[in-house]
Amino acid sequence: MDEAKVATEMHEMMDEKLDAGVIALPSHIVAKMLDKRQAILGDDAEFYRVHTFDRLMQIAKRVVGKFRADDETTSQLLLPGFQHLCKAYPMMRDGEVAIVPVTLCTDEELLSRANQLDEMAKGCRAHAREIRQYISARGREAA
């Protein structure tokens, strides 16, 4: 099974959790994937399980990344009736970044996310200003 298929399976497992209205912890997703594949046998089986868990956690963290704040959110991640509000957000739970349905996020967590987005907007406006300044300066140098 290649990495893309592993990531797809993880996406599906996380989507199932979110559709059920429960938190999707990456470590639980990885453990479930490993439970489905217990056919690792031999003297080195534990070695392979440990390193497989570590690699799967890396992939799971990438999958979680699709829920990070972005200027464009795919429609499948949006809460019905909203243009920007997501169904879930990455939040710390049990010492790891989990995907938490918006209905289970605290007001403080959601306000923190809103503040992060406000800060991102400031950074984007500053970036846009610098681009315009660069174009203007480049135009003066060429003249």
DSSP output for 61-118: HHHHGGGS--SS--GGGBPTT-SS-BSEEEEEETTEEEEEEGGGS-HHHHHHHHHHHH
What is the model's pLDDT at position 143?
67
What's the pTM?
0.76
Beta bridge partners of 98: 91
Per-residue pLDDT of the chain (143 residues; tens, 9 = 90+): 788 899 999 989 998 998 899 999 999 999 999 888 877 778 888 888 778 888 999 999 988 887 776 656 677 788 889 988 989 999 999 899 999 999 999 999 999 999 999 999 999 999 999 999 999 999 888 76
What is the model's pLDDT at position 139?
80
Element (H, E) at 20: none
Residue 81: alpha-carbon gap to chain centroid: 22
What is the SS3 assignment for 43? coil
